[in-house]
Amino acid sequence: MGAGKSTVGPEVAARLARPFVSVDDAVERAEGSIWEVFTERGEPAFRELEARFAREALAAREPSVIEVGGGAVETRELFRELDAFVVHLDADVETCWRRVQGSRRPLAQDEAEFRRRFELRGPLYAEAADAAAGDADGVVLAAAGVVRRLTPPGNGVEVVADERVLELHDPPLDGPVHAVPSGEGAKTPEVAARLWRELRLDRSGTLVAFGGGCTTDVAGFAAATYLRGIAWIAVPTTLVGQVDAAIGGKTAIDLPEGKNLVGAFHWPRQTLLEPRYLATLPDEQRREGMAEVVKTGLLADEPLWELPDPELVRRCAAFKSAICLRDPHDHGIRQTLNLGHTFAHALEAGSNGEVTHGRAVALGLLAALRLSGQPTDLVDEVLAPKPVRAERERAWRALLRDKKSTGGAVTLVLLGAEGGYTAEVPAGDVRRALDELIAA
């Protein structure tokens, strides 16, 4: 009570594009005010109504964000029955009491009793909830499995780790370690096949990916395909991994014909965001990640690149998590996260991998903004991308393979006043935009 559920709940629902249901409101519409129910029929009667309406809300076909009163935890059978992901919206007792004192809430009439119930319920919340959060970002991250501390799995664990990261950090969980090359060299059919042969996990085991976005890509793909799919945990150690690559369940390896042509959607059980790994990140790798931060900020229409690292990572991760929860298999709004990436993948292929992903994304953002009729000052100032050397025809073929050309047009992600959107752009315009990114 007073934790902010009626404020945070609708915000989370809007970000996930799901209906918001308040159990208290449903009770009041059907039975009269909660004050009257408590006064005339007592708290046990209210708890029965609360459980009934919560079950009805969960029985709906469409996934929803459901606000259940904090007191429901005193009837814990309700939480055991609900087929839902339960988040405890946490707040301190002083904040909660300040918000509810003087109201007509039946259980907020006596401060001493309020504080007693707060203390009593604390352990019950911990028992009943799948996760705890303090704001809308926290709820979204919890729903996406993004955590600040790992819960070790109960069965066998093996680790796929970037060979350079292993020189700096111990693996986050104990188990046999399979080292893979740094960067795109990890995302090859040969590395994936080696992992399949080396793994000794059974279907109940968990694979841990420890490294940058390329490591989480190949390890997640190995987990998706080994024994027809096993659980995995992502522990990204780079900025690009923490703000983008390790979130949302996209896994893939590359082929000579282009990036990410073989892959699977396989959501990690947990994704750990650990700030200390960024402390050992070289400046060059940080610049790589900033391209994804700027992309996210453009889509969110917020200057996320100006935030200190912990908040920058959290906000970017929460934005992407919400989009991916709305569209887990990339059929709609999730495609907007590819802003600039069609050009980026083309440049990477056209340079035979010599152009790094971050540099390519920075240039891709320039092209996307130009085709959107948007200013490019921000990208120029924050990322300062310069044209790169690449084979023009090879890059163009890769772009067309990445985004099929139909009727003389190419479907791209562009940026408008309402955020990212997809549109068909004349192939000639796309080709000119790509050529401008390639050095003479």
pLDDT tens for each residue of 422-436? 999 999 999 999 999
Which residues in 110-130 are b (16+ Cβ under 10 Å) and which e? eeeebeebbeebeebbeebbe
**Cβ neighbours of residue 88 closer than 8 Å, sequence gap 6 or more:** 125, 126, 128, 129, 131, 132, 133
Residue holding tokens 């700030």?
Answer: 275
Give which of 316, 295, 416 is closest to 361, Cα–Cα.
295
Mean pLDDT (whole number) for 143-166: 95
Residue ranges per structural domain of the chain: 5-143, 157-292, 339-435
Q: In whole angstroms, how far apart are CA 100 and each of 110, 125, 391?
A: 11, 19, 65
Indicate yes or no: pTM above 0.85.
Answer: yes
| 339-435 has the same fold as 5-143 | no
Give which of 285, 184, 269 is closest to 235, Cα–Cα.
269
Residue holding tokens 């059980």?
Answer: 269
Say if residue 406's pLDDT is above 70. no
The two structure tokens encoding residue 318? 């929460």
Residue 430 Cα to chain centre, angstroms: 30
- pLDDT confidence of residue 3: 94
- pLDDT confidence of residue 61: 82
CATH number of 339-435: 1.20.1090.10
Residues 192, 222 contacting (CB under 8 angstroms): yes
- pLDDT confidence of residue 258: 80
CA-CA-CA-CA torsion sign (365, 369, 370, 375): negative
| Structure confidence at residue 81 as a pLDDT band (50, 70, 90) | confident
- pLDDT confidence of residue 407: 67
Q: Which CATH class is domain 5-143?
A: alpha beta
Instruction: List, for residues 307-331, the tens digit of each pLDDT value.
Output: 999 999 999 999 999 999 999 999 9
Q: In whole angstroms, how far apart are CA 94 and each of 69, 78, 114?
A: 18, 27, 11
CATH number of 157-292: 3.40.50.1970
- pLDDT confidence of residue 82: 73
Q: In whole angstroms, how far apart are CA 129 and each of 108, 117, 138, 320?
A: 23, 17, 14, 23
What average pLDDT does the chain have? Answer: 94
**Distance separating alpha carbons of residues 241 and 210, to the nearest angstrom:** 10
The two structure tokens encoding residue 59? 């029985």
Say if residue 105's pLDDT is above 80. yes
Give the dihedral of Cα atoms 239, 244, 247, 250; nearest 10 deg.
-130
Residues 314, 334 contacting (CB under 8 angstroms): no
| Structure confidence at residue 72 as a pLDDT band (50, 70, 90) | confident
Mean pLDDT (whole number) for 2-14: 96
- pLDDT confidence of residue 213: 95
Residue holding tokens 């040969």?
Answer: 190
Say if residue 367's pLDDT is above 90. yes
